Amino acid sequence: MMYHLRQALLAMRANFTATFSTLTTMTITLLVLGAVLLLTLNVNRTLEQLEAQVEVAAFLKDDANIPALLGQVKLYQGVHDARLVSREQVLAEMTRDYPYARDAAALAGNPFPNTLRMRVERVQDSRRIANIVQALPGVATVEYGANYVDPAVKTLNAIRTAGYGLVALLLLGTLFNILNAVRVAMFARRNEIGVMRLLGATPAFIRMPHLIEGVLVGLIAAVVSVSVLAASYLELAKRVAQLVPVFPIVTDLNTIAPILVGIALLSIVIGLLGSLFATSRYLRELE
C-alpha cells in the first residue's frame, strides 16, 4: 500500500497541471453543490412557514348550506384543516386591525360574509383547491393570495431547478476532468505499465496507484470545499439573522452537518469512480 501511495503522489506531482485543474474544478463544483443544497434547505424551510400561513378563503352566500360545505371541503385531498368563521368573527378581526370598521358596520350593517378558511398541505395546492371550491354551490368568491403565492412558488421552484441543473453539469465536467487527468498520468507511465504487464502484474495492481490518486484528489477537494462552506454559511447565517430576524434561516448544526458530510463523501466517490473508469478504459485499449 505504501508503494501505491508513493506512486500516486509521484503521478500527481508529475502531472501537476492536470491534477490542479481537476482539483479546482471539483472544489468549485462541490462549493456550488453545497450552496445549492443549503439554499434548498432554507427554501424548504421558507415553504413550510409559508404553507403554515397560506389559507384559501371561501366567501359564502347568505343561502349557503354551511354544514354541508364544511364537511365537503374537509374531504378534499390537500386540505389540512377547514373551519367556519362567522361574519361576526370576521368583523371582530377587522375591528382589531381597523377600529373604524365597527363604526362603519353600525351605520351600514355588517358587510362581511360567512367564510370558510382552509389550510392547505402544500402551497402548490392553493390554486387547485381554490378552483374546486369556487364551483361549489353557495360559494360567492374564493381568495388564496394569488398575487404572492403563485409568484413565490414559481420563483422558488425556478431557483431549485436551475441550481440542480448547474450542479449536474459541473459534476459531469468534473468526472471528465478526472478521466482525462488519470489517462494523462497513465499515458506518461505507459513504458512502466508495459514492463509491469510483461512481468505479470495484475490489472488491479497497475490500477491501484491511480485509484488512490483519484481518492486523494476527491479527499482534498472535500476538505477544502466543506471547510469553506461551513465557515461561509455560518457567518452568512449569523448576519442574515441579525439583519432579517423574520427570515427562517437554518442554523442548527445537526441539520447542516449531514449535508456537509454527504458532499465530502460524494467528492471521494466521484474521484474513485473517475479513476476507475479511466484506468479500466486505458487497460482495455492496451489489450
Query: Is residue 78 within 8 Å of residue 125, measured between CB atoms?
Result: yes
CA distance linking residue 104 with residue 120, whole number of Å: 33
- What are the distances in angstroms from CA 282 to CA 7, 85, 112, 276? 18, 73, 77, 10
Q: Identify the helix (H) or strand (E) that includes residue 281.
A: helix 253-286
Question: How many of the other CB atoms lie within 10 Å of CB of 20?
Answer: 13
**Per-residue cell: 156:** 422558488
Residues 6+ positions from 193 with CB-CB distance below 8 Å: 186, 206, 286
pTM of the model: 0.62
Region of residue 105 (phi > 0: left; psi between -120 and 50: alpha; otherwise: beta): alpha
- What are the distances in angstroms from CA 128 to CA 70, 120, 144? 17, 10, 10
Count CA atoms within 13 Å of residue 260 on its CB side: 18
**213-234 confidence digits (pLDDT tens):** 778 888 888 999 999 998 898 8
Q: Domains in the chain, please, with CATH?
A: 2-49+151-286 (no CATH), 55-144 (3.30.70.3040)
Instruction: Tell which residue, 280, 270, 153, has the closest CA to residue 217.
Output: 270
Q: Which residue ranges in the chain fall short of pLDDT 50?
A: none
Instruction: Give Rg (Cα) of the chain.
Output: 30
CA distance linking residue 24 with residue 177, whole number of Å: 10
CA distance linking residue 162 with residue 168, whole number of Å: 10
CA distance linking residue 282 with residue 119, whole number of Å: 60
